[in-house]
Amino acid sequence: METSYTVGLDIGSSKIVLLIGEELADNTINIVGIGESTSKGVDKGLVIDLNSVVEAIKTALNEQRKWQTAQFHRLT
């Protein structure tokens, strides 16, 4: 059986938070990854520099790799 994951991404003006959860058989979610980075390219909730936002998301993704308990080859 293939494991199903849910990704939550909060892009705020001060920080970006990424959560990855594994969906369990009893419909609960086990958090298997969490990452955070300083937000860049966002001002008052508006994206003003998309490339900076993408880099901040990549930083959060790399940060969660230090914490994660599962390996991901691709997030879509």
| pLDDT of 68 | 61
| pLDDT of 23 | 86
Q: Which residue has the tokens 């990854």?
A: 33
**Tokens standing for residue 16:** 């970006």
The share of the chain scoring above pLDDT 70, in percent, equals 86
- Check if the beta carbon of residue 49 is closer than 8 Å to that of residue 40: yes
Per residue in 28-60, pLDDT tens? 888 888 999 999 999 998 999 999 999 999 999
CA neighbor of 76 nearest in space, from 59, 64, 55, 61 = 61
CA 64/CA 69 separation, integer angstroms = 10
Q: What is the pTM of this model?
A: 0.74
